[in-house]
Structures are given as structure tokens and as C-alpha cells.
Amino acid sequence: MNAKVLGLGRALPNRAVENIELEGVVETSDAWIRERTGIERRHLSTGETTTDLATEAARRALEDSGLAPEDLDLIIVATMTPDYFMPATACLVQKNIGAHRAACFDLSAACSGFVYGLSVAHHFIRSGGSQNVLVIGAETLSRSVDWTDRTTCVIFADGAGAMVLGASTDEGVIRCTLGARGDDQNILSTKAPGLQNFLLAGKPLEDDPGPYMKMDGQTVFRFSTKIVGESIRETLKGTGYSLGDLDWVVPHQANTRIVDYAASRLKLDRSKFFMNVQTTGNTSAASIPIALAEMKEKDVLHSGDLVMLTGFGGGLTWGSALIRF
């Protein structure tokens, strides 16, 4: 059986924050943020938790799918900002939506997390292990950034997106490929709170950055512009499809300049890349499903479209998925 996309949903915190509002928080400017990242505004939580946003996105995706909560047999939440390390966010969503038959777990692959989760769902459905799977990407990154660090706090934001997949004989998810390079762990990292406790055991941590996200922006930029093209080409291999067959590429919404470079390297029409980072900021694991749900709401994503999703980020990790909608 194939994994067919049955429904999509998204949830953003109510509070939209314009670039200009950040000028009073760190030394930055609307012009700098727009030019270097493409971002114009983002949504930041005023108390909505990762679970709240994930639950709302899940409800909308379920409604869009026409399935009932008890039809789900697996819930996967990709996040690097869970409310709890235990229980998993997926368990909290299960309780909130009443999906009592579902197995639940969280997955950590930073900005590639949604594509990783989708790949797991695809394989569960193909193997017959699951019939209907809910995959969510959800983040409250405003809790994770250092609000005195202008190189990160202007980029990252909050939100959640969800996708319901069901077993079908129709073409659906065609191929997923994933990758990681753990050697580059320090390029993009957030230390777990509590790690400092090792100090009590006499093992001081060198250059302890605290529990906030740290990013070497230029190295991430070079990595991202290269890996997007490589990952897309790798995913097309053996499928019988080529770049020219794609109706859409939906990349992780990191930065418009990364996508401009990647599109020109691939020699692929830039208008085929859907972008909404301008209004959402970088929501990490949530960005791809938020973009897909927005495309559906705007009626630019249609049944039958051939779409390439491509994620990249901390780990370093990357992954792409070719899907017939």
C-alpha cells in the first residue's frame, strides 16, 4: 500500500510580530532582516505551548482528512522544543484529540524533523504496520532563542503544521531519502537544560552556551544551499520522474536567499518553490507542513500535483520526500 496524503492543517500563535518591533529588542533593522532572510513578520507565542499548537494543527488536519481521531494508529511529532521530554508531545496531542488507539512518539531531527517523520509514516504504512498516521511538526522556538542574540532571535518563530496519511492503492508518497552528518553538531545546537548538572560530578563544560540556540549562520548557509539540490536529485533517482516533472518544491522555510541559490544551482524555475517564510519566519520542523496547509488554503496545491518536500538543519540533517498529492 502507498501512503496517501488525506489532510493538512496548521496553527500559528495569534500574535504577529513585525520586524520593526524587534528593533527595540536587539540592534537590528527591518531592512537588514528583509534583505538577509526575506522575513517580514513572524508569529510568536503569548502562552500557547508546543502542545497547544500541535493539537490545533492536528484537529484541522483531521477535519480536512474526513477521518475520526480513533481511526489513527500512529502519531509522530517532530519538534526540538517539546513542552516535556517525558511524556512525548505526541502523547499529549493524543489525549487532546481523543485518538486513543494511536501509538505515539516524538522525533528530533531539527528542521528536517517533518520529512523524517513523514518518512517513518511512509514506511509504517508500506509495511502494513499502520493504516492512518498523523505527522506533526510543532515548535515554540521563541522559548529557545537567546533574545540578546540578534543573529538568531530575528529568524526563528512559533507554529505547527500537521498531515494525515492513509493507506491507499493510489500513488502517494513515492520516495523519501534522509541524511545526517553528526560531525557538524556545533554549527547549529541547543544544549538540553540539566546538562550543567555534570558540573557537580566535577566535569566542567568548556564554553558552556547555556540552554539557548547557537548558530554559525554562514556555515549553515553554505551547507543548506548545497544540500537542497543534492537531496532533491537523490530523491528523484529511480522514480522515473525528473526535475521538470515537479509541480512544486516546498523547502524548509529558512531563508529566501538559501532558496534563491538552491534554485539557481538546480537550474529550476524559482516560481516552482513555494515560500511563506516572509510571514511565518523560520519555524523549524513546523515550516513544511505549515507551508503545505497554506498552499491548500490558497488553492495553489491541487490533487494530482507532484511535489518535492526538502528539509535541512541542525544535526546536521537533511531529507526530501517526493509525493503525488
**Integer angstrom CA distances of residue 103 from 77, 97, 120, 234, 293:** 11, 13, 13, 31, 24
Could you tell me which of 3, 300, 311, 273 has the C-alpha nearest to residue 139?
311
Mapped to the 3 state alphabet, what secondary structure does 92-130 carry? HHHHHHCCCCCEEEEECCHHHHHHHHHHHHHHHHHHCCC
- Cβ-Cβ contacts under 8 Å for 62 (sequence gap 6 or more): 7, 9, 68, 69, 72, 97, 134, 164
Among 211, 217, 278, 297, binds ligand ACO (CB under 6 A): 217
Stretch that binds ligand ACO, among 81-89, 147-155, 242-250, 300-308 (CB under 6 A): 147-155
DSSP string, 165-178: EEEESS--EEEEEE
Nearer to ligand ACO, 132 or 255 (CB): 255
Task: Note whether 284 binds ligand ACO by CB under 6 A.
Answer: yes
Amino acid at 134: L
Task: Note whether 222 binds ligand ACO by CB under 6 A.
Answer: no
Nearer to ligand ACO, 95 or 257 (CB): 257
Helix (H, G, I), strand (E, B) or coil at 296: helix
- Cβ-Cβ contacts under 8 Å for 150 (sequence gap 6 or more): 26, 27, 28
Residues touching ligand ACO: how many (CB under 6 A)?
Answer: 23
Nearer to ligand ACO, 23 or 73 (CB): 23
Site string for ligand ACO, 165-204 (x = CB under 6 A): -----------------------x----------------
- Least distance from C-beta 267 to ligand ACO, angstroms? 22
Q: Are 253 and 275 in contact (CB under 8 A)?
A: yes
Task: Note whether 315 binds ligand ACO by CB under 6 A.
Answer: no
Active site residues per annotation: 111, 252, 282
Task: Note whether 282 binds ligand ACO by CB under 6 A.
Answer: yes
Using CB under 6 A as the binding rule, the residues of this chain from 233 to 252 that contact ligand ACO are none
Stretch that binds ligand ACO, among 114-122, 200-208, 215-223, 266-274 (CB under 6 A): 215-223
Task: Note whether 218 binds ligand ACO by CB under 6 A.
Answer: yes
Using CB under 6 A as the binding rule, the residues of this chain from 102 to 131 that contact ligand ACO are 110-111
- The alpha carbon torsion through 211, 86, 123, 53 (nearest 10 deg) reads -70
- Interface residues with ligand ACO (CB under 6 A) are 28, 32, 36-37, 110-111, 150-151, 154, 188, 215, 217-218, 220-221, 224, 254-255, 258, 282, 284, 313-314
